[in-house]
Chain A
């Protein structure tokens, strides 16, 4: 069926020609090719070690610095809770302008109540205290670096905190087989922006130490846009009809760790919470 092959070839050639025309015309795609970026296989080269510099892990919303996350009533003003008192200034919360676009979170009434309960019971509820996996997008703005591995047909993110990892599929494997802490990530390029849709979450991770939470209906759309060789604009749109009345977005820059010998370390904190989580089960608990 030779004519079919010829037909196929000409169709393919036509499509390729059209694709080339579209790709080379920013006004058609709405995407411009940012000049001056390091590139790999024609796409911005996101390989490397990245980290945020902000107070989002304390609270993604704007907040004033305060003495501690866990407080109790005092004779004049609230004072740090007994459990964290010994930390002094080390346990104090740095203020931040917040990373949420417009600052407000569109909580459903019940979900807002839960957030407030979470905040009041931070010490026993925050999954970070137990060294649980951070979820997405919290993994991004934990105060630890993470490394992007962008290979041929592969995209993988390894986080220093808790050894969390994400294999970002470039071919959609279909709905996630199971719920997980870090979700299932599927990525694609939109021009020079790498867009990752993350689904298949459980409802266990938080957005920050302020008790902001979600259900297993969470869907996160991340956009990684390199603005120059050492900066990425990171945006994450949160959709969760179980928690929020409408989607909302957070955004922040990612900074390349440029110091000599910069490398991903290991913060395998499971070992560090042994006494906290299992100390009471010792033959003779430490007094």
Chain B
């Protein structure tokens, strides 16, 4: 009797790897993006970014980040309101993200009481001076890369799939390929390595803390380390809330100038 129960208990563990390998690398990346970038219908978080230079000096960025998904794995809108550094308080920033074309970005400059659209030709440019690029924050179109499975590996205690993503068009990127370690169970990317066109490791992303918030596994602390120049950026997501019902009207130039109080407190 005992042994039958034991075998029955084993069954899911025998099947699981099979189901995992039945999935293509592209699907795995898609699942990871959904878990990482599209969790919930919308999200509100207080984000603290620490930009740390090679000599250990730090620059702070503190902001409220509001995100609303308009299509799972598709269009998204971001609203970002800055608290720090002090002289940029009240600055706000909005991104309309479309997977298939360039983002639209607007910024509000309080000192001139002026909203300006910013042309976003380069998704690989830095996000607010950090080691994260816009693409690192909002994701890269899955179809822009060829994905393939590597070995399976543990990151910390977690079993991960390693996926290699090679950009189809090398011109648009500043790296030659990326390796992602994706948590098999929770689908979150726990580590990413970017390799330069010379083949050297260049940037490393790591998920430093994962918490379950209202049933959603969330990376609450992450670091992007630039191996080449010794910079790193540490980001912590504080007070993350999902499904807070952000209205469409937040993502307008008017709201950018006068953000509704309840979203930025």
Query: Does chain A bind chain B?
Result: no
Interface residue ranges, B against A (CB under 8 Å):
none
